[in-house]
A and B are shown apart, each in its own frame.
Chain A
C-alpha cells in the first residue's frame, strides 16, 4: 500500500513569494497557527516585520508604508479581517494603491463540513468589498501570490490571498 504524502504549504514558499515580489514589510498579528512563518520572516534581513495590536491597524500602517515608497503585505486571520472593515474601506480601497493581503482562512475545509462561522462569512465578506481573492492551500499554489501582486499593481486595489492551510499551521 502506498502512503500518500499530504500536500502542504510551507512557510518557505510564502517567504520566497514575498521576496520575489519585492515585499519590504509584513504588517501582522501573529497567532499560534502561523508560528513557523513568523519565525522565518524574522530571520530575513530584507524583511521588516511590523507587529500590530489590532488587525484594523495593519491596513493603515500599510498605507503609510506605501506612501513612503515601501511594499508592505498585511498578514492577518479572517476573523481580524472582518474586524478591519472600515480600515479596509478607508485606508486600502479608497486610497487607490495596490496591496496584497494574506488572510489565514480559519475554519476552511475542502473535504468536510464547515462548522466555523468565520469560514462561512469570509468569501461573502470579500465579495461585499469587491476584493478579488486567490486560494492557496499548498506549495503548488504559491505562484498565485505573484498573480495577486500583479493584479493589485494593475488595478491599484487590494487583492487577497486566502491561506487554506492556516488551520494546520503552515506545515513544514
Chain B
C-alpha cells in the first residue's frame, strides 16, 4: 500500500492544466500539493455520486482534462457509473481510485470483498479505454505521465494506506478548505462560464 500523500506528491508534477476533483479521506492531502487551486473542484457528496458529477463535468467541458480522485467505498455505492462513463467515452476523463479497503471515516470497517475485488478489471470490462492497478509508488510514478496523456476514459486503481478516523465527527479537526460553492465559482470564473 502507498501513502495517499505520496500519490499526490507524484501526481502534482503531471497535472498540467487538468481540473482536479479530490474526494474522501485520502483526497484531503491534495490541498498540501496543489499549485492551482482555481482548477480544484469540491463537488460535495451524495452516496457515491461525486463520480457521476465528475462525468457530467467532463461531458460539459470536453476540451478540459478532468481528473477525479475517487474512493472505493463511494464507488461501490454506485458501481453502475462505470458503465455510464464507458457508454459516453469521455476522452478527457481520468478516474483515479484511491482504495484503502475500508470506510475510514466511520472507524475503518472493511468494504465488501475489500481485498479480492479487482476494480481495474471491473472498469476495463465495463468499457473504459484503459485500466491500471498500482500497489507500488515507483511503478505509479513511472506510468503517470503516459496515463495523463492517454485518451480516456482511463481508470487507475491504487492501493493506499487507510487513515482511519475514530473521533466523534464533531471533535474532528479540519483544515480550512473552500466550500463547494466557492470552488465552483472560482472554476467558472477561470473558464469564463456564467453561473446558471
Residues of A that sit less than 8 Å from B by CB: 25, 27, 48, 50-54, 56-72, 86-87, 89-91, 94-98, 153, 156
> Quick check: B52 and A60 within 8 Å, CB to CB?
yes
Contacts of B81 in A (CB 8 A): 53-54, 57
Chain B min CB distance to A47 (Å): 13
Contacts of A72 in B (CB 8 A): 56
Contacts of B45 in A (CB 8 A): 90
Contacts of B193 in A (CB 8 A): 67-69
Smallest Cβ-Cβ distance to A96: which chain B residue: B181
CA distance A95 to B196 in the complex (A): 11
> Quick check: B44 and A90 within 8 Å, CB to CB?
yes
CA distance A70 to B195 in the complex (A): 10
> Quick check: B55 and A61 within 8 Å, CB to CB?
yes
Could you jot down 8 A-B contacts, CB within 8 Å? A48-B59, A57-B52, A57-B78, A59-B46, A67-B56, A67-B57, A91-B52, A96-B181
> Quick check: B43 and A53 within 8 Å, CB to CB?
no
Chain A min CB distance to B25 (Å): 18
> Quick check: B59 and A61 within 8 Å, CB to CB?
yes
Smallest Cβ-Cβ distance to B62: which chain A residue: A68
> Quick check: B87 and A98 within 8 Å, CB to CB?
no
CA distance A68 to B84 in the complex (A): 18
B18 at the interface (CB under 8 A from A): no
B61 at the interface (CB under 8 A from A): yes
Smallest Cβ-Cβ distance to A49: which chain B residue: B88
Which of B78, B83, B84, B188 is the one whose CB lies under 8 Å from A67? B188
Question: Which of B47, B56, B196: most chain A CB closer than 10 A?
Answer: B56
CA distance A70 to B61 in the complex (A): 9
Classify chain B's interface size.
Answer: 35 or more
CA distance A54 to B84 in the complex (A): 9
Given contacts A63-B56, A64-B56, A65-B60, whether A57 and B196 have CB atoms under 8 Å apart is no
With A52-B84, A58-B52, A66-B60 given, can you name 10 additional A-B contacts, CB distance below 8 Å? A50-B56, A53-B81, A53-B83, A59-B49, A61-B56, A69-B188, A70-B59, A89-B46, A90-B44, A90-B45
Chain B min CB distance to A165 (Å): 27
Given contacts A51-B84, A98-B196, whether A61 and B53 have CB atoms under 8 Å apart is yes
Chain B min CB distance to A81 (Å): 14
CA distance A165 to B85 in the complex (A): 31
Contacts of A61 in B (CB 8 A): 52-53, 55-56, 59, 84
Contacts of B161 in A (CB 8 A): none
Chain B min CB distance to A58 (Å): 8
Contacts of A67 in B (CB 8 A): 41, 53, 56-57, 60, 184, 187-188, 193
Contacts of B83 in A (CB 8 A): 53
B194 at the interface (CB under 8 A from A): yes
B58 at the interface (CB under 8 A from A): yes
> Quick check: B49 and A87 within 8 Å, CB to CB?
yes
B80 at the interface (CB under 8 A from A): yes
B178 at the interface (CB under 8 A from A): no
Given contacts A51-B84, A53-B81, whether A64 and B53 have CB atoms under 8 Å apart is yes
> Quick check: B80 and A64 within 8 Å, CB to CB?
no
Within 8 A of A (CB), among B76-96: 78, 80-81, 83-84, 87-88
